[in-house]
Amino acid sequence: MADIIIKNGYILTMNPAQDDIKQGVVVIKDGIITRVAESTDETADTIIDAKGGVVMPGLVNTHTHAGMTLFRGYADDLALSDWLENHIWPAEAQLTGNDLYIGTKLACLEMIRSGTTAFVDMYIHMDSVARAVEESGMRAALSYGMIDLGDHERGMSELKEGRRFVREWNGRADGRITTMYGPHAPHTCSRDLLGLVKEYAIDDNVKIHIHILETEAELNEMKKMFGMCSVNMLDELGFLDNDVIAAHCIWLSDGDMDILNKCGVNVSHNPVSNMKLASGISPVPKMLARGVNVSLGTDGCASNNNLDMFGEMKTAALLHKVDTSDPTTLPARQVLEMATVNGARAMGTNSGMLKLGCMADVIIVDMDRPHLTPVYNVASHLVYSASGGDVRTTIVDGKVLMDDYRVLVMDEQKVMDEARSATEKILPTVGLTRTT
């Protein structure tokens, strides 16, 4: 007997080998998808009627700092350096492990509600983050964000903490939690630290999550320090391969894109954060044309200001149309691939599709709503008309986390109340001086 049968829904498989099914079933057993078809003779403990809904793979957010939900709307409409140095870093210095636990719980709640089933995170107090993820039922690849600003001693202690976390949490929560190394960026980490991170990551058989060329300032700084840009420096170091997830990748030359493609680097595109901080426009269509695996991320809530991957999909599609003056750029299907298949590929998980043998990370989007009526093209609706609030059911690893808009894995009101009181405590103590 199966665990879950989802029936009567439009099945958006995202599997290149199987077309969508107008009315079909998805069968789940032991956390794995065992059938995607028009019907089934099987029975299950749980039958979910997806009538009027789209059944699709859960969305994968490949770059965020989940605990930053606590800074949602705290410092907006500022220049990036002012925002980071005078507002975000001093506020972060006030955060305790318990604050991060609360902030991450809030992030997981928001993601479950908006159809994200897996995310890639880099932050601080990672044991607390991991504990929140474990309890939430979500899937995540977590890393401790390391910064040494050229200070060797600091670099070594950051690396020690990074490795401790990598080894302690990899594979926990029945494999839902994996770990990565998280060197913050090429200009905030010394070349020695980056070289050691690569060695350690190979040794521990884990991936690396890093920001690359988010700002023009990084490009200029790298050229001044090394006489070359971040991509060239990392390539020379032997750092770049398909075990690297590189967030942003905005200030790239054509040569940089060739290197990222040659090395198989996974790029996480974060259009909302890039637009809000006026960081620039990542050359995503050019990377996709080369064959680079580009996925989508929201970045943290201080620069977005939410974790809604539907909003990210729409923004990505619109931004590159206007940027290329070509409305055929990034069609809806391709954007959906970025948010599902490509994200799973970046994480190295067997998910992102509704396919026999894939992990059962599945969502149901309610189409029986005024702004989604009528339906000519499901993919178009998901990218251009839907939002996270239209997700009615979220399943991760074969467990139902939200059923018909009811979140089953946490007390929603309590999570929001705790987040409010955590920020009340933090914000009055924040000064306006740089702490790092």
Is the distance from CB of 406 to CB of 413 less than 8 angstroms? no
390 near Ni ion (CB under 5 A):
no
Determine the interface stretch with Ni ion among 148-156, 292-300, 320-328, 379-387 (rule: CB under 5 A).
292-300
Instruction: Compute how many other C-beta atoms are within 10 angstroms of the C-beta atom of residue 239.
Output: 23
DSSP characters over 241-259? STTEEEEE--S--HHHHHH
Determine the interface stretch with Ni ion among 71-79, 80-88, 182-190, 296-304 (rule: CB under 5 A).
296-304
3 near Ni ion (CB under 5 A):
no
Residue number, 113 or 184, with CB nearest to Ni ion: 184
366 near Ni ion (CB under 5 A):
no
Count of residues that interact with Ni ion, criterion CB under 5 A? 1
- Distance between CA 185 and CA 209 in Å, rounded? 9
Smallest separation, CB 297 to Ni ion (Å):
8
Determine the interface stretch with Ni ion among 138-146, 191-199, 291-299, 405-413 (rule: CB under 5 A).
291-299
Residue number, 121 or 418, with CB nearest to Ni ion: 121
Residue number, 148 or 299, with CB nearest to Ni ion: 299
Determine the interface stretch with Ni ion among 41-49, 256-264, 294-302, 375-383 (rule: CB under 5 A).
294-302
Smallest separation, CB 63 to Ni ion (Å):
6
- Distance between CA 199 and CA 192 in Å, rounded? 11
- Distance between CA 417 and CA 436 in Å, rounded? 31
299 near Ni ion (CB under 5 A):
yes
Tokens 């029986």 belong to residue: 368
- Distance between CA 214 and CA 202 in Å, rounded? 25
In sequence order, what are the residues at sequence separation of 6 or more whose Cβ sits closer than 8 angstroms to the Cβ of residue 426?
A: 70, 91, 94, 95, 99
Determine the interface stretch with Ni ion among 228-236, 297-305, 399-407, 413-421 (rule: CB under 5 A).
297-305
In sequence order, what are the residues at sequence separation of 6 or more whose Cβ sits closer than 8 angstroms to the Cβ of residue 81?
A: 217
Tokens 């493609």 belong to residue: 261
Give the residues lining the site for Ni ion (CB under 5 A): 299
